[in-house]
Amino acid sequence: MDRIRKWITLSLVVVAILVGLFYPRKEDPVLDWDKVMDLPGPVAARSTYLSENYYWEGGFLRYKDREHRIGVDVSAYQGDVDWQQVADSGVQFAVIRAGYRGSTAGELYVDDSFYNNLQQAKDADLAVGVYFFSQAVTAEEAREEAVYVCELLDGADLELPVYYDWEYLDGRVPPAASMPMTECAIAFCEEVKERGYLPGVYFNQDYGYNYLDLAQLRGYHLWLAEYGNTPAFTYHYDCVQYTDSGSVPGISGPVDLDLLFLPE
């Protein structure tokens, strides 16, 4: 009986080897980006940033061989900001929260520090953009938010975009999976563009991979949130928020830090 068992085991091993030789395991397919980019219709552009080109200098993340700017994004949570001191530290741009939609009743509010931050950052010769913290549940609400932001700006010149920033909070909004996120982002951006400002979309890796159709957002400025030393997001982005615990002279407590790539 033992002899039979050994013979069966040996036979199975031989069969497995032969199958492996004549029917090798298929490798995971490698995506041919050149072919993908030739397909009809829009596709999400791939990232061309190299992990080895990121480096730290003076407390800020930088990038070799590509012109870039270093910056911060702030809201009323940062309190009073000494913008001249921020500029003197080497910061070159700021993205300022203009306002937000409440997560319960859905009312629209201006950020308590918006006007001071906007004027003083511009006085310090920083390039400035703004963002709106959205809790829109429909494209129409997102469009309403865009109108609200542009009315707050009242024609103010901006060097950087007006960003749509949707993030989940408990309250009136459904989970991201139940949201028309791409449609809302497009509605916001198109209204912003119609009113003369450069539109942009802020998102993290999860939203970028799972809930936003980045192919439809290629015409807008993309601001990624990915914390770490070497962002590895697969698709293209124009700006990356790489930490929420940065330290900058002129700002009390932690602050978000950003790296902005200039067009080539």
Question: What are the φ/ψ torsions at residue 161 (nearest 5 degrees)?
Answer: -70, 170
Taking the model in full, what pTM does it have? 0.84
pLDDT along the chain (264 residues), means of 10: 44 42 37 42 86 96 96 98 98 98 96 98 98 98 98 97 96 92 98 98 96 96 96 96 97 97 90
Q: How far apart are CA 134 and CA 145, in angstroms?
A: 7
* DSSP-derived secondary structure letter, 238: S
| DSSP per-residue codes, 151-192 | HHHTT---SS-EEEEE---SSSSPPGGGS-HHHHHHHHHHHH
Q: Which structural domains are found in the chain, ordered by start?
A: 33-261 (3.20.20.80)
Q: Please, what sign has the CA dihedral across residues 187, 189, 190, 196?
A: positive
The CA-CA-CA angle for residues 219, 111, 160, to 5°, reads 30
